[in-house]
Every structure is written in C-alpha cells, then in structure tokens.
C-alpha cells in the first residue's frame, strides 16, 4: 500500500510517498481502507520535530491521526463492526498514521460515519470535534445562560465549539477574521468580533468561559474578559497557573483523545443536521507536502483533507 512517511524531522520536503506493508489487524482492531484523511496542525508539528519530546516516534513513521473509510477486516475480539461498515476515527499517535491506504485502529476509537455526509466531510470532524467536546462539555461544563467567548470561531476546532456551546444554551461570542464573520454567525454565534478591525478585549467582558484555540497574545488578552472565578480553557498553549491566579480566574489545558463513544455522539448530531464542519481544500495523497506548506503559511481555511482512495 502507499503511505506518506518521514525518515527524519524537518520541513515538508521530508514527506515521501512510499510503498509499505498493509498493517496487521490485532484482536481488538479494525482494518480500515482509508478514503479520506484529515490534516491537522499537529501533523506538521510532529513532522518538524516540535512534538518529539511529548510524542516520541521511531523513524520512519507515517503521518496523520484521523481518517474516514471502509472496514475491510476485524479482529477476533471485535463485535461492534463488520467488513463493509463505513467508519471514521481519531487514532492514538502510537499506532500507524492515517496518510495511508490502510490503517489498523483499536475498535474502541472508531465510530460509524454519519450517513448523511461524504467521507471528506466526515473526516473534518474527529480530532477537532473531540477536542471541542473535551473543552466545552467535559471541562467547561457549559450550561444554559453561560457567557462563552470562543477564539478562532471559523477554525476546525472553534467552529465545532461554537455549535456545541450553543446547543448547551450558552450565549456565545466568537472571534473571526473579516471574511469569516458571516460563516461564524451562521453556526449560531450570538456575536462575532472581527479581530482584524476590533480588539476583542475591549468588547467582551464578564465571560464565564473562554475557549482559547490560538494561544500567544490572544490568550494573554483573554484574562481580562473573564468574570471573577471564570475559566480559560486552552487547546494550543498551556495557560500559566500564576497568570490565572493573578486574574482571579481558573485555567485548564485540553487536547484530543481517541474516544469512539463521544465521536458517535458527534456523528449523531451531524446526521440530524445539528452540527456541521467547515471543510477546506482537498489534496491528493501524493500532494500531502503541498497541503502542509499551505497549513503552515496560515492561509488555509477550514480543515484540509487528503483524498486517499
């Protein structure tokens, strides 16, 4: 089978399309023929070596962590899936990557693909959707009437977070660039702040929760928007506990973890038309390096997708 692998850390030129063996399907695994693979910022961070200490890998390795496709085989202990099932998933980094024709993945990390959407649309959900669920539902425990500020409302993670927070009954303020204000409003945000023309910290105030998907100066400016005892949930840069204390607030850092059960709940929302994803540019598997360059430039919109088969 074909796979995009790297043999050393570096820029996108390290990515090579190679012939490799189809992975073995363990007792608790399903073997999936990948139709579409998601491209996430962590992919180029892993390729560059920025995640080497946190997520050690042995060279060569295949990039990618979420995919949508068709089950071709199941392990002896698997009863929830059968060959022919259309599925999607976010897999643990310790296993083989998803920039490949086939992936073996723990069945507990897999959910059935929403029947109402394509493979390319479905694969835009797993990693950012699970991170958004962890931030909004598990950590912030957003409920009706809460005031929530979400940064990057047009991003893959932020756009799902906006919809989840609204579904919980929150009053949602989101930040977005000029070109994306209308899109974020269409997702249900009560107020959208154009960060290109406005300073959000001068507009947003008394927030119960801030979901920070950006880090850096955005995170620093967010502390002043929280009410006393409010919560900043970061998904990119761990917030400083000392800074939180100084602001009279609380802080948490979250990330995606593979959870098939939660992904199934997100899939159900998507099937009902209650959750949509913003799909960006699609690339052929052989053009994965081009996709990484676009992502690293900061000029991509929505979640980029690899068409594998």
Q: Residue 302: is its pLDDT beyond 90?
A: no
- What whole-number distance in Å separates Cα of residue 73 and Cα of residue 107? 11
| pLDDT at res. 298 | 82
Task: Work out the average pLDDT over 116-130.
Answer: 97
Give the Cα separation of 88 and 295 in Å (integer). Answer: 22
Q: What is the pLDDT of residues 144-162, one digit of tens each?
A: 999 999 999 999 999 999 9
Residues 42 and 86 in one domain: yes
CATH of the domain at 198: 3.40.50.720
SS3 content of the chain, % helix, strand, coil (to 5): 30, 30, 40
Specify the CATH number for the domain of residue 54: 3.90.180.10
* Distance in Å from the first CA to the final CA of the chain: 11
pTM: 0.95
Closest CA to 231 of 202, 252, 200, 254: 252
pLDDT digits (tens, 9 = 90+) for 129-142: 999 999 999 999 99
Clarify whether residues 119 and 140 are in a common domain. Answer: no
Strand, helix or coil for residue 226: strand
Per-residue pLDDT, 92 = 85
Displacement of CA 277 from its chain's centroid (Å):
11
CA–CA dist 266, 260 (Å, integer):
10
pLDDT at res. 93 = 80
7 and 59 inside one domain: yes
Give backbone dihedrals phi and psi of 18, rounded to 5 degrees, phi first: -130, 160
Residues linked to residue 150 through DSSP beta bridges, in sequence order: 174, 211
Q: What percent of the chain has pLDDT over 90?
A: 96
Residue 32 scores a pLDDT above 80: yes
Predicted confidence (pLDDT) at residue 38 exceeds the cutoff of 90: yes
Q: How confident is the model at residue 94 (pLDDT cuts 50, 70, 90)?
A: confident
Residues 6 or more apart whose CB falls under 8 angstroms from that of 159 comprise 128, 153, 184, 187, 277, 278
- The single-letter DSSP state of residue 240 is P
Judge if 142 and 116 occupy the same domain: no
Q: Is the residue at 268 inside a domain?
A: no
Whether 270 maps to a domain, the answer reads no
Is residue 179 assigned to a domain? Answer: yes
Mean pLDDT of 55-61: 95
pLDDT tier for residue 225 given thresholds of 50, 70 and 90 = very high
- pLDDT recorded at residue 96: 77
Question: What is the spatial distance between Cα 90 and Cα 111, in angstroms, rounded to a whole number?
Answer: 9
Domain count within the chain? 2
Residues 195 and 246 both lie in one domain = yes
249-301 pLDDT, tens digit per residue, is: 999 999 899 999 999 999 999 999 999 999 999 999 999 999 999 999 987 87
Task: Tell whether 47 is covered by a domain.
Answer: yes
Residue 100 is part of which domain span?
2-124+278-307
3-state secondary structure 264-276: HHHHHHHHCCCCC
Q: Is residue 68 part of a domain?
A: yes
Residue 95 has pLDDT above 90, yes or no: no
Task: Tell whether the model's pLDDT for residue 71 goes beyond 90.
Answer: yes
Same domain, 30 and 74: yes
């Amino acid at each position: 089978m074909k796979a995009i692998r790297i043999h050393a850390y570096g820029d996108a030129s390290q990515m090579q399309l190679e012939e490799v063996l189809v992975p073995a399907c363990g007792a608790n695994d399903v073997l999936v023929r990948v139709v579409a693979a998601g491209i996430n910022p962590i992919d180029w961070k892993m390729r560059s070596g920025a995640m080497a200490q946190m997520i050690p890998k042995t060279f060569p390795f295949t990039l990618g962590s979420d995919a949508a496709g068709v089950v071709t085989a199941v392990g002896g202990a698997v009863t929830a899936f059968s060959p022919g099932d259309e599925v999607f998933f976010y897999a643990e980094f310790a296993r083989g990557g998803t920039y490949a024709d086939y992936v073996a993945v723990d069945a507990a990390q897999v959910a059935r693909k929403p029947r109402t959407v394509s493979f390319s649309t479905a694969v835009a959900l797993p990693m950012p959707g699970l991170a958004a669920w962890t931030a909004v539902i598990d950590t912030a425990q957003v409920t009706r009437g809460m005031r929530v500020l979400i940064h990057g409302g047009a991003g893959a993670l932020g756009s799902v977070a906006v919809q989840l927070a609204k579904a919980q009954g929150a009053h949602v303020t989101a930040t977005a660039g000029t070109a994306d204000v209308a899109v974020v409003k269409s997702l249900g945000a009560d107020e959208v702040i154009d960060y290109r023309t406005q300073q959000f910290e001068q507009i947003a105030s008394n927030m119960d929760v801030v979901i920070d998907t950006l880090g850096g100066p955005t995170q620093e400016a967010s502390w002043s928007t929280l009410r006393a005892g409010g919560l900043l949930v970061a998904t990119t840069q761990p917030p400083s506990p000392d800074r939180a204390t100084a602001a009279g607030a609380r802080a948490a850092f979250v990330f995606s973890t593979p959870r098939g059960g939660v992904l199934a709940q997100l899939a159900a929302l998507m099937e009902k038309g209650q959750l949509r994803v913003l799909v960006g540019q699609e690339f052929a598997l052989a053009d994965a390096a081009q996709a990484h360059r676009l992502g690293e430039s900061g000029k991509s919109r929505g979640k980029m997708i690899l068409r594998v088969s």
